[in-house]
Amino acid sequence: MDKPQPEHLKSAGLKSTVPRLNILNLFKSGQERHMSAEDVYKHLLASGDDVGLATVYRVLTQFEQAKLLVRHNFEGGKSVFELNQGKHHDHIVCLQCGHVEEFYDAAIESRQKKVASERGFAVHDHSLHIYADCVRKNCPHKR
């Protein structure tokens, strides 16, 4: 279902290589939406696709620059990536289980623009991370 074709990379100015196709394919597979370099590396090895960790880091950065992926810097020190699906959103991260929930709030977005422009800043982007606990018992996601 929707396996990445060489054209997807070509149109981003990147030549079609095995590691690039595998990484893009992993994100498109939808198994896990938010993944670190280490996560990607392990998934690829697990599925028999041999790849170097340095290549994973390089490709993730290239994909970020090509706007195929978006990078997030949550607490915990490591960058996390997700498919760029065009629509910006922010995140709630569960401190118990690590589950990441997405949301978009138009009021928050427009207030941010207002705050920044009132102070003479031209906004490039922003990150809004809410750290919380799943209230429900049986927090359904693993740490």
Partner DNA sequence: ATGCGAATAATAATAGTTCTCATTTGCAAT
Partner DNA sequence: ATTGCAAATGAGAACTATTATTATTCGCAT
Residues that bind Zn ion (CB under 5 A): 90
Q: Find the shortest distance in angstroms from Cβ 86 to Zn ion.
A: 14
Q: At 59, is the secondary structure helix, strand, or coil?
A: helix
Query: Which residue, 20 or 91, has its beta carbon nearer to Zn ion?
Result: 91
Q: Which does 124 bind (CB under 5 to 8 A by kind): DNA, Zn ion, a copy of itself, none?
A: a copy of itself
Per CB under 8 A, does 112 bind a copy of itself?
yes
Q: At 95, is the secondary structure helix, strand, or coil?
A: coil
Q: At 53, is the secondary structure helix, strand, or coil?
A: helix
Per CB under 7 A, does 61 bind DNA?
yes
How many CB atoms lie under 10 A from the CB of residue 121? 10
Per CB under 8 A, does 121 bind a copy of itself?
yes
CA distance 127 to 16: 31
Instruction: Match 């760029």 to its residue by tokens.
Output: 84
Structure token digits, residue 53 = 């960790």
Among 11-19, 40-48, 80-88, 114-122, which window interacts with a copy of itself (CB under 8 A)?
114-122
Q: What is the largest CA-CA distance in the chain?
A: 53
- Which residues contribute to the site for DNA (CB under 7 A)? 6, 10, 14-20, 36-38, 50-55, 57-59, 61, 77-79
- Which residues contribute to the site for a copy of itself (CB under 8 A)? 73, 75, 77, 92, 94-95, 101, 103, 105, 107-108, 111-112, 115-116, 119-136
